[in-house]
Amino acid sequence: MPTTVYISHVIDAPIEKVWSVMRDFNDMPSYHPNIRKSVIEGDRPSDQVGCVGRLTLAEGYVRERLLCLDDRNYVFTYEIIEGTLPVRGYVAGVTCIASLSATELLGNGGPTSMSSALIATR
Instruction: Give tens-digit pLDDT for 53-89.
Output: 999 999 999 999 999 999 999 999 999 999 999 988 8
Tell me the backbone φ, ψ of residue 65, rounded to 5 degrees. Answer: -110, 130
* Domain residue ranges of the chain, discontinuous segments joined by +: 7-121
Whether domain 7-121 has CATH 3.30.530.20: the reply is yes
Residues of the chain above pLDDT 70, percent: 80
Average confidence (pLDDT) over 16-33: 91
**Edge-first strand listing for the sheet containing 61-70:** 7-11, 116-121, 91-99, 75-83, 61-70, 52-57, 35-40
Which range among 31-35, 48-52, 56-60 shows the weakest confidence by mean pLDDT? 31-35
SS3 at position 113: coil
Helix, strand, or coil (residue 16): helix
